[in-house]
Structure formats: C-alpha cells, structure tokens
Structure 1
Amino acid sequence: MEATIFPDEKEYLTPYSFYRRMRDENPIAYDPKAKLWAVFRYDDVRTVLSDHDRFSSDFTKFDSSETVGRRKSLISMDPPEHKHSRDLLTKAFTPRAVANMEPRIAQIANDLLDQVIDKGEMDFIRDFASPLPIIVIAEMLGVPTQDRDQFRSWADELLRFTDNPFVDAEANKERRERVQAEMDDYFRGIIAQRKRDPKDDLISSLIQAEIGGEKLTEEQILSFCTLLLLAGHVTTINLLGNSMLCLTDFPDELNKLYAKPDLIPSAIEEVLRYSSPVQLFFRIANRDIDMDGRRIEKGQRIIAWIGSANRDETKFEAPDRFDVTRSPNPHIAFGYGIHFCLGAPLARLEGKAAWETLLSRIGSFTRIPGTLEPSGGFILHGVRSLPIAFEPVKVHQ
C-alpha cells in the first residue's frame, strides 16, 4: 500500500497517533513521493536495524553522491569495516572512562543551577539541558574553555543539516562542507598537540588506541569527534529536555523520584522509550527483500521508526502511559544490533547525574504556560525552549 510515511508537521512533538495508525493499517509502507520504505512495528524495526546482511548502513554502495563532501563515520559502516573501527574506538571510549566522569558531570550540573537558582525560573533547554552535554563533551575531548562557544556553534550548524535530509540538501552542501572543514582544521591542531604532548583526554586516548599494531587514522579520529559532537550533544539535550517534559506532564511520577531517587535510572529508560530523542534510523536494501508480502528492491532506502517501535502495544503494556517503574522495558531508543549507540552509557550517566542534582536542590517544578516548538524536524525529537518555574529546596541553618 502506498502512503505518506511521515507525520504531519503539526504532529512532530506528538506523532504517536500517526504511528499507531500506521502499525495498524500500513506497517510496511512505501512513499512514492519520497521514494522510501518505512517500517513501524517493533519486530520489523528491530530486524531492519540488526540484519546488516540485508539492510546496509553504507549508502555509498548504491549512491556515489553520498561520498561527496562527507566522511564515512561509524554509523555509516558495515562489517567487517564497522567492527574494526568500533573495536579501536572502544579501546579509548571505555565504560570506565565514562563512569569516571560522573563526579564532574554532577559538578557541571550544580554550576549551571547556581546561575539560576535564585531566580526561581529558567529556560530549561537554554540554561541547563543544552550547556551540560556540550561542556561534558568539550572537556572529554580536551577542548579549551575559551573555545567552547565555537564548539557549540558547530554543533548547532551540524544539527541544521541533519534533522530533515530532504530539505535543501544541495543548498546546504556548501555550508556543511565549510563547517566540516573548520572543525577538521581545529581538531587537527589538537591532534598534533596531543601527539607531541599527550593529556588525560579522549583525543589522546584515541591516538594511543591500538589493536594488533594497528591504530586509528587521523581521518577516523576526526570522524569520531564530529559524531560525538553531534550525536552526544543534540541527543542528550533532547533526553534531558524530554525528561523534564515527561515529569512535569506526570507529576505523580516525579513524586515517585523524590520519594525514591533510586528510580532515576529507571525513569531515564522510560523517557528514552516514551519520548525517544531520535525517532528513526535509515538503512538501504543490500538486495531484493521480501518482508511480510512486500517487495523491497535492492538499493531502496528504508526508515526504521524507533519512535513507533517504542510505543508498540504488542511489546509494551499500556505503551502510552509514562511509568518510571516500568519493567521490563526493552526499548530500542539507542538502536539495536551492531550499531547500538556507543555513547549510550554517557547519555544515561548524564541523565542520572542531572536528575540527582535537580532533585537534591529543587523541591518542585512547574511548567510556565506557552506553546512548545519542536527543536527541529521529524528525526530528532525535542523542544526548542522549555520555560519552567521552581522552588529551591530550603536549607535549614
């Protein structure tokens, strides 16, 4: 059945009725205008994400224009290239290195709250959710404090090129290449410095990472810096912002966290499911594929709608209910299979540290009325601005 596979622009913040309708009526759909397939059900989404033999992440196999002005990154590789690169990156970007960041993340969260705590209100995105991950990533990479504004500017520019790939792709090409060139020049300078004088930062670890005598090339390091800046910054902004939206929409669930802060990790997982920061991933058919009676031809592109899969009523009881105690919670907000997000432990840690800090210093949150605007298009899911009022916890002298 032919159909549009995208929610209406008015539904970008709440596309869930659209997803349910597609799961019920057209779960494997082709959009002739966009020339794209899409899958909406949990099992199909998971198959498309994990079956790399049939569904490729490397679009350059079928479209040489994909190579123009773009550097291949971890998310656009297939095995065996993907495994080799990921293994090298994992040598530097280790769970221990991430876990060691927790005290610093908590300190950053406290520093950000210090700047607004006496006002009793803030724009949660501008004042907290946006600066926290950019500071974390900048410090991890070894970016000097004085360069942080430039770092944030690059992240914002990259976001504009990413969120709706069907709009003005050619017009954006020159700007995208300019931003990428500026970032490359900057990070080449840091890489050269770290080769001469290694520091305790991620770029130094990436330079030193080695398996069987083989190391990451400069191009691979530059690619990972770009990926970490975009994926680690923007998606975490949305995770933090969406968590505030969910918990102010469902104050009874917020009260559960006040009563039992040990539920914070479970609450983060429920935010990831209920309001997934990334709504979809793209794949391309490696060969002709039959799925549930539908024929997907070799070279055709497929959207795997994560946001729909995480609301699939066949996998989640009462999927439209936000429940910080939900268990089990097999969401696929970080993807599935070999491309499961390498930065997932960092995002989870930032969410946990942020909410532990917020709950320890603020006694109540209230959303300031106003119209919520999506931060971008239909791929990345979040709000541009989120004004809140709050009551600081009273400290007894």
Structure 2
Amino acid sequence: MTVDAAALLDLTDASVVANPYPAFAALRAQAPVAWHSGLGQWVATSHAACSQVLRDRGLGRVFREREPQDAWDTFNWLHAESILDSEPPKHTRLRRLVQSAFSRGHVARLGPRIEALTAGLLVGCRQRLESEGSFDVISDLAEPLPVLVIAELLGWPEQDRHLLRPWSQAIVRMYEVNRTAEEDEAAQRACGEFAAYVETLAAQRVSMGSADGPDDLLADLVAVREGGDRLSTRELVATAVLLLNAGHEASVNGFGNGLASLVASGRDPGRVAPLVEEMLRHDSPLQLFERTATREVVVADVRIREGQKISALLGAGNRDPAVFESPDEFRPDRDPNPHLAFGAGIHFCIGAPLARLELATSVAALLAELGPLEVVESVRRPTFVLRGYERLSVRSA
C-alpha cells in the first residue's frame, strides 16, 4: 500500500510543526521512505534511510535558480557558488580550498575568545535575572554569541556587527516550507546587502596583502591557494555568507532546543562533551536536508527516479529506536550517539568543530554560573526546517 506522508506529517498543522516527533514515529512505522504530496518529494524517516540519502552519490545537491532572475540574481549565485549547493568535482575543489583556510588554527585560537564573549554575555544574564527574576536565554545568550564568534572568525568590523543577524534571519527564511511575499523581498534585499559588504571586506584584504593584513579567516580565504587554483570573488563571498547563515542558525537553535530538552529531562548534565551531542540529537536544529536523484536510486526498497527529490528528515532519523535506545528520552550521557545533526558524507558540516566548541563552552559556563535552571516561558518559532525557539525564559531553580 502506498503511504502519503502528508497524511501523517501535515506541515500546515501548527501542532505538528511545534512537535513533529509523534508524526515522525508514526510515519517511520508505516514506511521509512514515503512520498509527501505536500512537499512534492520523497521523505526518509529511519536512521538508515536518512544516512543513505546523505551519502549516496546518486543523490546530489541540485540547485534550481529562482525566478524572476533579476529579482533573485544575488540569491541564486550565492547558492550556486557555495559548497552546500554544489557537487563534485566543483564541491571537491571548493571544500579543499575552504578547509585549507579553516585548518590554519582559526577554530583553536577562538577558544579563549569564546570563553570571554560568553562570560561577558552572562554578566547581562545575571543582571536581568536579579532585576527581573528571569532572562531570555535566546536573546541574551544564544543569539548574540554565534554572531560575535562568526564576526571574530571573519574579522568583521565591530561597528557593523549588528547587521549580521538580520541579514541571516532574512535569508534562511527561504528554506522554509511556507513563506510570504514580504519575506521573499526581505531575503532579496539581505542577499544584495550582505554580498556587497563581504565583497568590499575581501577587497580590503587583497589591498592590504598577507604581510600587513589581519589574521582572520576572511584573509586566509582571500589568500588560499592550491597550486594555481584559488576561490573566485563570488565563491569567497558565498562561503562567508554560508558560514554566517549555517553557523548562526544552527548554533542558536541547537543551544535553545538542547537546553530546553535538558531542563525538561530533570537530569544532571554530567560531562559536557556527551551532553552537547545529545542536545544536537534530541531536538535537532536542522530538520530537513534535500537531495535530488541524478540517476535512479533505491532507498529502503523505494525507487527514486532521476530528477525526483528526496529529503532526509534528520530529526526523525535521530529518534529512530533501531539505533537509539529510548530515543524520546534525553540522556546527557548517551554513548554511542551516532546522530545526523551535522549531516554525513561529502556535505558533512565544515563548521562542526566550531559549533561543538561554541556549544560546549557556552553551555558549561551557563550551568556553572547560573544553573540549575527552570523554564518560565517558551515560545517556538513557527518554522519546520530550521527548528528553534523565539523565546526561552529561564530562572535559577
């Protein structure tokens, strides 16, 4: 019997978007891969099927330009020239160049700076806790921290760092299932402004030269060479924009979702390393990763024809009982924990080491300074693909 995933996973239902996990479980029990008439594509819900979708070389990231071209021009090339929306051999080349710049010690050097930035934000959290009785862990810590970290990484001018979060939030709305015309227009403006700013910064790095310029990732992206190869201006700009969008949104949502899960569990957080992995698994910040069949592929006995799309529902795969014992429980000491929150295969998140460092540093500092915590008020974002909180007010328990 053919299963229509839309009947069990109705993404027009606000209650399903707010808590998709019961629908994931019901759909997985019916079929690990099913056609979703609402999305117009196949969806994978088991860990094994999601893993194959992420790794199978017969499935690729095939970017289709938005129309009309004049309105979406910058949005289109920001995606076409990025690592995320390219396949080998282009992807191999881009990832090699970007990884070469990343591997010059930038993440390791950021460790002490992340600690200092977290400490500064926690001062404000404590002041708000003392004056108001609670604080919003999203707006007071989880949102500003990754923006500050990415700004430090790229060498973004301090006086203009307030521009980053609005640009990122406008652009990532384009990945959601339901959008408005106003949100489309906001994304178009954000892409143009963001790309123009990064291009200006890159030109400054070029004019300074490696000897006199700052020691930041943007400078290394400008200077990186593999033989005679280098990043084009558009590839460099697309990389910087991707780092902000992916790094910021995943970090904010991973922190908020994970902290809410920890508090609700009532468990001792234990060691920070396994705690961070469980925060990412239990309520994944990214719920859907789309691929397109470049040839016929069989996933969980389902034939995906060339040109058809299939998405890995990462939150579903991360709660598969075939892989995770009591998957709906939040276990801070869960080990092993082969979650898919960072993806898998050639598109495994290039910023995963930085995201893990940022989460481990900030969560450990928050709990040591102000924990244990209890939730006073929580408001979910009305989004499915990028899952997170608009507000998560907490106080010391």
TM-score between both structures, scaled by the size of structure 1: 0.90
- SS across alignment from 2:380: coil
Name which of 166, 180, 190 aligns with 1:153. 166
Q: Distance in 1 between matches of 2:191 and 2:128?
A: 38
| Structure 1: 5+ residue stretches without partners | 258-262, 392-397
- 1:111 is aligned to 2:120: yes
For residues 177-216 of structure 1, the aligned pairs below 5 Å read 177-197=188-208, 198-216=213-231
- SS across alignment from 2:372: strand
Name which of 232, 241, 249 aligns with 1:217. 232
Q: Report how far residue 3 of structure 1 moved.
A: 3.3
1:260 is matched with none
- 1:232 is aligned to 2:247: yes
Q: Distance in 1 between matches of 2:335 and 2:174?
A: 37
1:18 is matched with 23
Pairwise CA RMSD: 1.9
Q: Report how far residue 143 of structure 1 moved.
A: 1.1
**Contact 1:13 1:382 (8 Å CA) reproduced:** no
Q: Distance in 1 between matches of 2:42 and 2:182?
A: 25
For residues 42-191 of structure 1, the aligned pairs below 5 Å read 42-52=47-57, 54-60=58-64, 69=73, 70-71=76-77, 72=80, 73-94=82-103, 96-120=105-129, 121-162=134-175, 164-168=176-180, 172-191=183-202
| Structure 2: 5+ residue stretches without partners | none
Q: Report how far residue 160 of structure 1 moved.
A: 2.4
**Contact 2:287 2:385 (8 Å CA) reproduced:** yes
Q: Distance in 1 between matches of 2:256 and 2:89?
A: 36
Name which of 332, 340, 355 aligns with 1:332. 340
Q: Distance in 1 between matches of 2:14 and 2:295?
A: 32
- SS across alignment from 1:82: helix
1:395 is matched with none
Q: Report how far residue 361 of structure 1 moved.
A: 1.6
Q: Distance in 2 between matches of 1:309 and 1:330?
A: 10
Percent of aligned pairs with the same residue?
Answer: 33
- SS across alignment from 1:267: helix
1:244 is matched with 259
Q: Distance in 2 between matches of 1:165 and 1:33?
A: 9
Q: Report how far residue 6 of structure 1 moved.
A: 4.5
TM-score between both structures, scaled by the size of structure 2: 0.90
Closer, same or farther: CA 172–385 of 1 in aligned 2, 3 Å: closer
Q: Report how far residue 65 of structure 1 moved.
A: 5.3
Closer, same or farther: CA 376–158 of 1 in aligned 2, 3 Å: farther
Q: Distance in 1 between matches of 2:51 and 2:183?
A: 32
Closer, same or farther: CA 241–16 of 1 in aligned 2, 3 Å: same
Q: Distance in 1 between matches of 2:218 and 2:248?
A: 17
- SS across alignment from 1:298: coil
- 1:40 is aligned to 2:45: yes
**Matched residue count:** 377
Q: Distance in 1 between matches of 2:97 and 2:278?
A: 31
**Contact 1:12 1:374 (8 Å CA) reproduced:** no
Residue 163 of structure 2 aligns with an amino acid whose one-letter code is Q
- SS across alignment from 1:312: coil
Residue 307 of structure 2 aligns with an amino acid whose one-letter code is G
- 1:375 is aligned to 2:378: no
Q: Distance in 1 between matches of 2:336 and 2:68?
A: 39
Q: Distance in 2 between matches of 1:272 and 1:116?
A: 23
- SS across alignment from 1:386: strand
Residue 37 of structure 2 aligns with an amino acid whose one-letter code is P
Q: Distance in 2 between matches of 1:95 and 1:354?
A: 23
- CA-to-aligned-CA distance 1:9-47 (integer Å, 9 cap, x gap): 212232111111111012211123431111111111100
Q: Distance in 1 between matches of 2:177 and 2:103?
A: 32
Residue 150 of structure 1 aligns with an amino acid whose one-letter code is L
Q: Distance in 2 between matches of 1:13 and 1:188?
A: 38
Residue 152 of structure 1 aligns with an amino acid whose one-letter code is R
Q: Distance in 1 between matches of 2:252 and 2:187?
A: 22
- 1:386 is aligned to 2:392: yes
Query: Once structures 1 and 2 are overlaid, which stretch shifts more, 241-250 or 265-274?
Result: 241-250
- CA-to-aligned-CA distance 1:75-118 (integer Å, 9 cap, x gap): 11111111110000001112732121111001001000112313
Q: Distance in 2 between matches of 1:33 and 1:352?
A: 38
Q: Report how far residue 173 of structure 1 moved.
A: 4.3
Residue 239 of structure 2 aligns with an amino acid whose one-letter code is F
Q: Report how far residue 224 of structure 1 moved.
A: 0.7
Q: Distance in 2 between matches of 1:390 and 1:95?
A: 40
Residue 40 of structure 1 aligns with an amino acid whose one-letter code is T
1:30 is matched with 35
Q: Report how far residue 350 of structure 1 moved.
A: 0.4
Closer, same or farther: CA 95–117 of 1 in aligned 2, 3 Å: farther
**Contact 2:35 2:42 (8 Å CA) reproduced:** yes
**Contact 2:62 2:85 (8 Å CA) reproduced:** yes
